[in-house]
Structure 1
Amino acid sequence: MKPATRIILIGAPVAIAASAFLGIGGKEEIPLADRPREDRKTAAPVQNPLASGTASERQALEARIARMPAGLAHPAKKEIAAQLVSSAEHSTLDWRGRYGAIEDLGDGNGYTAGSIGFCSGTNDMLQLVEAYTADHPDNGLARYLPALRKVDGSDSHEGLDPGFTDAWSTEAAKPAFRAAQDAARDRIYFDPAVRLAKMDGLGTLGQFIYYDAMLLHGPGLARDGFYGIRRAAMDRARTAAEGGAEKRYLNVFLDESRSAMRTRTNPAWRDTSRIDTAQRVFLRNGNMRLTPPLQWRMYGETFRIPAS
């Protein structure tokens, strides 16, 4: 695997993440990994636009988004998105072959596993295993749930070793667990990113840029989380929905995302290939619909998706 794919931030659904900052429920009701880190020196968090407004306003927004073209949610485009992400996460386009991958990358996130890199320290792995266990109580990972809850928000393996990595690999051979990974990916990352990109007037490429940033930085509200990066970009450029030029806004967004990546302490984790030699290339070429053929470089390796 390549360097860590997300900063230790928030791995929970965006509505839950927003509640930590917007006063919905007390702090004791917020899981550990969903709370702002006390030692993080960042600007004040921003509001999550998908969790703001009245119920009727949110309903009207979702209805408007539902009437828009499928964009990245179209099956063919979603497959391209999965391949692009896999080139960054696993250095391969075969993302379906990575459900059973699991290792500790030494990035402070504990174990990183599965097709998109669920982490034991960033809450999304816990969410995945909890949801899977609710549907399949006798699965081989269920007995590790107490340990996953205990290590959430840390890089600890306490209660996971030995046995957890083998249990993950074994479970990943089952279609039900692979489907559960896909469902968690969509619920936590893909669907919120695509909805918000559509709200901002962005086409298929912009929707992918949002999705990849959501995976990379986590759905955090602080300055170095996805929503903080979006807020910083909006301070410098108008979104397409606000009447701005889409390409200019996306370039600014990529600047902010890249800046957040460059703050990482380990130089090996500051590689910005996914922006510099992939997303920025598509944007420069004006391929706003992510139409194959596509060619990009990731960590010095060239990848291609041929024309249909």
Structure 2
Amino acid sequence: MRVSPAIRPSGRVVRVLVAASVAACTASFALAGTGHATPVQGARSAAAAAASVDLTDAHKKDIAMQLVSSAENSSLDWKAQYKYIEDIDDGRGYTAGIIGFCSGTGDMLDLVQLYTDRAPGNVLAKYLPALRKVDGSDSHSGLDPNFTKDWRTAAADPVFQQAQNDERDRVYFDPAVQQAKADGLRALGQFIYYDAIVMHGPGNDKDSFGGIRKTALGKAKTPAQGGDETAYLGAFLDARKAAMKREEAHSDTTRVDTEQRVFLQAGNLDLDPPLKWKVYGDSYSITS
């Protein structure tokens, strides 16, 4: 997982990892049901609203991937990122793939292990011992000089692409959407949660997803608790922005200010196209 400051060498957003543990990268969510008591009518209404538009719909999910890619990669072409790999000098080794799997935080190791389970003898399998050794550090020991080249070779393999998709869903997308639906949030709220977990990780400290959600719950009720959806999401974005500003790497908050809050202020809780937004001053649109 990573966050994206406004520095973009070679036209690409620098992606900086959140300072989270390997355990945080693979932690499962157990947040649903925390917070205030839930009024029965509010829960029923919230459940009906969340069921009406689900981010797991193929088209909605693709929109979510494009939105994240605009901030993470300065491009809407998220599928072009399977081959992405570089060391962005953030202390977490190599950052790679569609969601920023990193050699220093364990999620890259998990990904390559999954790929090897599905395709024994693949071009990356030989790096598993090295990935285990560099886990928790920024070391390239045992990876250089050919790891980046071999990663790009593997990225052309549909099996590796699917492995990236599956790990993205297991660690980030599915837990975020599950929690958002439990909170009674529609597609925009589900996306807001997903983008937050991508950047901040699924932990429970104050600057991880769980901590941000806890702060928001102290300010507003979720729809599942009988609260107003727009008011709650506003509180969540406020809490997230505060968390971002506590780290220098988060200094540019446009993915909140000129992307997500724009949709929220427009009342587009179902995240329906056409969508227009800006990240780091660059303009993007999804027309359908």
| 1:26 alignment partner in structure 2 | none
The yes-or-no answer on 1:17 pairing with 2:27 is: yes
Distance 2:15 2:159 in 1: 26
Distance 1:231 1:294 in 2: 29
User: Counterpart amino acid of 1:110?
Assistant: G
Q: Deviations over 1:217-252 (max 9, x none)?
A: 011121111111111111221111111111111111
**In structure 1, which of residues 106, 110, 127 is the aligned counterpart of residue 89 of structure 2?**
106
Q: Does structure 1 conserve the Cα–Cα contact (< 8 Å) formed by 2:24 and 2:203?
A: no
User: Counterpart amino acid of 1:9?
Assistant: A
Q: Give aligned-pair identity as a percent.
A: 54
Distance 1:85 1:218 in 2: 14
Q: Does structure 2 conserve the Cα–Cα contact (< 8 Å) formed by 1:122 and 1:152?
A: yes
**In structure 2, which of residues 116, 119, 132 is the aligned counterpart of residue 136 of structure 1?**
119
User: Counterpart amino acid of 1:285?
Assistant: A
Gaps of 5+ in 2: 1-11, 35-46
| 2:192 alignment partner in structure 1 | 209
**In structure 1, which of residues 186, 199, 205 is the aligned counterpart of residue 182 of structure 2?**
199
The yes-or-no answer on 1:172 pairing with 2:181 is: no
User: Counterpart amino acid of 1:274?
Assistant: R
**In structure 2, which of residues 87, 90, 107 is the aligned counterpart of residue 124 of structure 1?**
107
Distance 1:213 1:5 in 2: 14
Distance 1:123 1:51 in 2: 29
Distance 1:158 1:253 in 2: 40
Q: Deviations over 1:146-185 (max 9, x none)?
A: 2212222222222211111111111001111111111111
Distance 1:291 1:50 in 2: 26
SS state of the match for residue 72, structure 1?
coil
Matches within 5 A, 1:1-308: 1-4=12-15, 6-10=17-21, 17=27, 48-49=30-31, 68-69=51-52, 71-266=54-249, 269-306=250-287, 308=288
Q: Does structure 2 conserve the Cα–Cα contact (< 8 Å) formed by 1:71 and 1:77?
A: yes
| 2:5 alignment partner in structure 1 | none
TM-score (normalised: structure 1): 0.80
Query: RCO higher in 1 or 2 (8 Å CA, sep ≥ 6)?
Result: 2
Aligned CA RMSD, in angstroms, stands at 2.2
User: Counterpart amino acid of 1:185?
Assistant: R
* CA shift in 2, pair 1:108/1:51, >3 Å: farther
Q: Which runs of 4+ in 1 moved over 6 A?
A: none
